[in-house]
Structure 1
Amino acid sequence: MATIDVFSYDVPAESDFGYSQAIRSGELVHVSGQLAFDEAGEFLHPGDFTAQLKQTYANMDRILDHYGATRRQIVSQTLYLVNLRQNAAATMDGNLRYFGDHRPASTVLGITELALPGQLVEISFVIDTKLPA
């Protein structure tokens, strides 16, 4: 029987919009788009792509920690970027630093805007907890 485990930061947006940060079903964890916010749910670094990317990766690590997983267990990711061409080099550098030699499946989408004013990046991903850490 599959188990379901829902992860929440308990920030207002979760209840206002009606979503979970992550939901585990069996061995897979599906993670909603992560962005640059602090533990109180306050959006950080409007307009600063590099700082937002760094905070987004830190928030991804919080979810991995919750599920006892590591970056090596991320099997896919989707990155949503405002100003794709302008932020491509920083994205590639950040991605290589975050994953090291691990190579998850990856999709990068250039978009016009994200949910919050000044938000430039959002990353959703899937974790397979059965893979070796």
Structure 2
Amino acid sequence: MSHLDGTLTPTTRQRLMPEQSWNWHVPTPFSQGWRVGQMVFVGGQLSADEQGNVVGEGDIETQTRNVFEAVTRVLEEGGATWRDVVKLNTYYVCNETGAAVQEFWEKMTRIRLEYMPTPGPAGTAVRVAGLMYDGFLIEVEAIAVVGSGDFPSQT
């Protein structure tokens, strides 16, 4: 990687594996996140205990809060905050129809908004048929640029 003055600087990589993070049921090389230079990449976070079991089965509010707390832990370990998040991807399972879908979405979004600064990140939400295991209702991944939240926001 080249620096502005033309000198070569190494790109530092830091694996992010905060305590109290969930783990897979089988050994894997996957990481909860990575910090590469000033960027923090948060892998998909689920509402799971440290053994990978579902927490808050059937409760989108509990699962959303747990997921966003897990994202927060990874961000913090990488030196970032929610103000630094520039991209947020949300995958959610809702097998309801009609007005129940909107109610589900609103419950999920009320919790998500507790974590979002103004202005918030670019976001994507995708309704999916299922996640890693039955019982998980939401998975979230994020990209942050450390220090980007310190700049004055533009409206």
TM-score (norm 2): 0.76
Structure 1 unaligned blocks of 5 or more: none
Does the alignment pair 1:4 with 2:13? yes
Q: What code does the residue aligned with 1:112 have?
A: A
State the percentage of identical aligned residues.
26
Comparing 95-104 with 19-28, greater Cα deviation is found at 95-104
Q: What code does the residue aligned with 1:30 have?
A: F
1:55-70 to 2 correspondences below 5 Å: 55-70=66-81
1:1-133 to 2 correspondences below 5 Å: 1-9=10-18, 12-13=23-24, 16-83=27-94, 85=101, 87-133=104-150
**How many residues are treated as equivalent by the alignment?**
133
Cα gap change, 1:102/1:41 in structure 2, threshold over 3 Å: closer, same or farther? farther
Cα distance between partner residues in 1 of 2:123 and 2:37? 22
TM-score (norm 1): 0.87
Comparing 13-22 with 51-60, greater Cα deviation is found at 13-22
Query: When you count helix as a share of all residues, which structure comes out higher?
Result: 1
After superposition, what is the alpha-carbon deviation per residue over 1:23-76, rounded to whole angstroms, capped at 9, x for unaligned?
Answer: 111111111111112345443112211100011111111112212221100110
Query: When you count strand as a share of all residues, which structure comes out higher?
Result: 1
Structure 2 unaligned blocks of 5 or more: 1-9, 96-100, 151-155
Q: What code does the residue aligned with 1:25 have?
A: V
> How much is the aligned-residue C-alpha RMSD, in angstroms?
2.1
